[in-house]
Chains A and B, each alone.
Chain A
Amino acid sequence: MADVILKNVQKTFGRAKVIHGVDLDIRDGEFVVFVGPSGCGKSTLLRLIAGLEDITAGDLFIGGDRVNELVPAKRGIAMVFQSYALYPHMNVYDNMAFGLELAKSSKAEIDRKVREAARLLQIEALLDRKPRQLSGGQRQRVAIGRAIVRDPKVFLFDEPLSNLDAALRVQTRIEIAKLHTDTRATMIYVTHDQVEAMTLADRIVVLNAGRIEQVGTPLELYHRPANLFVAGFIGSPQMNFIECQVAGVGPAEVLVSLPGGGTLAVPVQPDGLQAGEAVTLGVRPDHVRISPEGALNGRVELVEELGENHLLYVDAGQGRRLTVREPGDARHEAGSTVSLDLARTFCHLFRRTGEALQPQAGATSPTSPDLTSSVA
């Protein structure tokens, strides 16, 4: 059990700087997920914590000790790799015991640990098998078992589910969550899959181009994205963005002019915003409703039926495409014209720099009935 603290951690490969000064406090027993698009530096950050890469500048503390110069084995970590990294010529038992033999543990002690981990992960029947005789899910479980037997202070997961098929991914995800509940160990988990991030994390760290965009609980990130990047990255389907202009500024709201003539009062703190400034209005597909008195008109381009709900892709003119999610079966066909109503209390407003304007207290309440279907 240990906390992990990063202080201005930087990493440079040759001339390319891939991590630009990351500050992060991971509390003891916390499940933190690094998420971001490919090449954002999330795996590199994990490898810096593991000690597989050297930290160029900054400090890394695990359990209060500065570990920059410690080899991976001395950091009290265990890592689960995307490709499982099992020793192909050893059976499951030896794969899990190999790392322990060095630690001068007694044979009986090793045996007890391996069998206990195998029982926990329900792979007792596989102990004599070679990795090639296992399915992907079983291999990943062995890889997790190899981490468990080391009894680490911090578990590191590098995209552990990305080689599994969809059903196994859900199942293994639940098992990892259960492992966290059972062990209460600190866990750092890298993924590009925001569903994994939302479901597993106590806190999510959104990374982009080697910088932290936002750190927060899954719902904080979902409801109060700090900027355009986080708003666009968290949530599926993606948040709709509409370029518009500030039409007027009130004490507790900003009036924006919508394309096609209408205006919308968004309940955010104006924070020095001036009339005429360009802003981006953000609204999730769940918060766009089809209604006769909608402020925006558009033509339905495509309908996707998902059963419990459906998606409409609406062309609102000038190549602006909005996604609408409505419950149940679609009542509109491709080619038909609809009017869209934006739920203003759920709208986000971003400055031209991408930074989000703070919502008014009470707005964007997480108790909205629409939210039940928002994390899919």
Chain B
Amino acid sequence: MTSAVAQGDVPVPRRVRGRRSSLTRSRVRAAWLFIAPSLIILALIAGWPLARTIWFSFTDADLNNLSDYEFIGFENYLANYDGEWLGLLTDPDWWRSVWNTVWFTLVSVSIETVLGIVVALILNAAFPGRGLMRAIILIPWAIPTVVSARMWNWMLHDQFGVINDMLLRLGLIAAPITWTANPDTALWTVVMVDVWKTTPFMALLILAALQMLPGDIYEAARVDGVHPVRVFFRVTLPLIRPALIVAIVFRALDALRVFDLIYVLTANSRDTMSMSVYARQQLVDFQEVGLGSAASTLIFLIIALLVVITLAAGRVRLGEDPR
């Protein structure tokens, strides 16, 4: 028997710079032509507002009169007046909203991931009515967030809410709970509604990954008598990990800029205020375009930083992609 054939070290011809053929040049030109419309639109709808927000964050602009402002440098972020530190970075409410957002993201995405895997595993099994179940499970995700948040608001209402009513009748609580107003329950309530709403999304992405798995290795595991739980942790989970990471990144990015759910459920409550809610409050309620823009810019930086970290970590892991 011959020895193993080493793979992957086929020499790749190195591109010689400056000597592109006319065919290559025309291909490059065609490629630019094709992506130009998207680039222009992106620059208009994403690039320009972002640049303007960053610019406003260095000014004292006011929502009443956006044409009259002065450049004030980093004063919106941090400034020292007579020995007293002021600015966004010294605002405990801001840091509270950052912490709320991060906590919300960690807890809700974790729960959604676990539940999503469970639901996906169930939906991946063959049982009668599976197609219908797959459609039904998507309903929470299909409802617009504002609608489902209002719906939950009513269900969670301290006087007329069906949830308090049920818990009272079951004798689990002695008095109605003000779910969204009570500081102890408010953020958990938000997490619960978010889990209800986005678990289907997780389940769908994971289900797609599960359906890509080869069936024969499961039969091999059956013949070898490997316990199903062990098969899940040693075979299924490693194999769906790339897809799982993508799903988690998607959801985490979504959760970090959460706004509508929290705003509809609890308005400007400090107990649940997320970074986006904070920025909106500064911008719209307090008309402080400068400060609000500074908060938005920081949100942008925080999310961008987390994306870079996740993608860097993810690429290392994706490098071990089993297939």
Binding stretch for chain B, among A9-17, A128-136, A245-253: A128-136
Nearest Cβ in chain A — how far from B304, in angstroms? 32
- Per the bound structure, the CA–CA distance linking A79 and B226 in Å amounts to 14
- Per the bound structure, the CA–CA distance linking A99 and B214 in Å amounts to 18
Binding stretch for chain A, among B3-11, B48-56, B177-185, B289-297: B3-11
B223 to A50, Cβ gap below 8 A?
yes
A138 to B4, Cβ gap below 8 A?
yes
Nearest Cβ in chain B — how far from A158, in angstroms? 9
Interface bin, chain A: 20 to 34
Give chain A residues whose Cβ lies under 8 Å from the Cβ of B225: 71-74, 99, 102-103
Binary interface profile of B, 5-23, with partner A (CB < 8 Å = 1, else 0)?
1011000000000000000
Interface bin, chain B: 20 to 34
Give chain B residues whose Cβ lies under 8 Å from the Cβ of A98: 221, 224, 226, 234
Interface status of A77 (Cβ within 8 A of chain B)? yes
Which residues 229-250 of B have a CB within 8 angstroms of A? 230, 234-235, 238-239
A86 to B1, Cβ gap below 8 A?
no
Which of B4, B214, B224, B239 contacts A125 (CB under 8 A)? B4
User: What number of A-B contacts does a CB cutoff of 8 Å give?
Assistant: 83
Are A89 and B239 CB-contacts (below 8 A) given A83-B216, A134-B4, A135-B5? yes
A99 to B216, Cβ gap below 8 A?
no
Interface of A is mostly: loop
Interface status of B217 (Cβ within 8 A of chain A)? yes
Interface status of A78 (Cβ within 8 A of chain B)? yes
Give chain B residues whose Cβ lies under 8 Å from the Cβ of A87: 217, 220, 235
Give chain B residues whose Cβ lies under 8 Å from the Cβ of A85: 214, 216-217, 219-220
Which of A50, A83, A88, A129 contacts B323 (CB under 8 A)? A88
B217 to A73, Cβ gap below 8 A?
no
Give chain B residues whose Cβ lies under 8 Å from the Cβ of A78: 223-224
Q: Which residue of B lies closest to A94 (CB)?
A: B234
Which of A50, A79, A83, A89 contacts B238 (CB under 8 A)? A89
Q: What would 9 more interface pairs be, CB under 8 Å, given A81-B216, A81-B220, A129-B4? A: A73-B225, A79-B220, A87-B217, A98-B221, A99-B226, A122-B1, A130-B322, A138-B4, A150-B224
A interface with B by C-beta (< 8 Å) = 50-52, 71-74, 77-79, 81, 83-89, 98-99, 102-103, 122, 125-126, 129-130, 132-135, 138, 146, 150
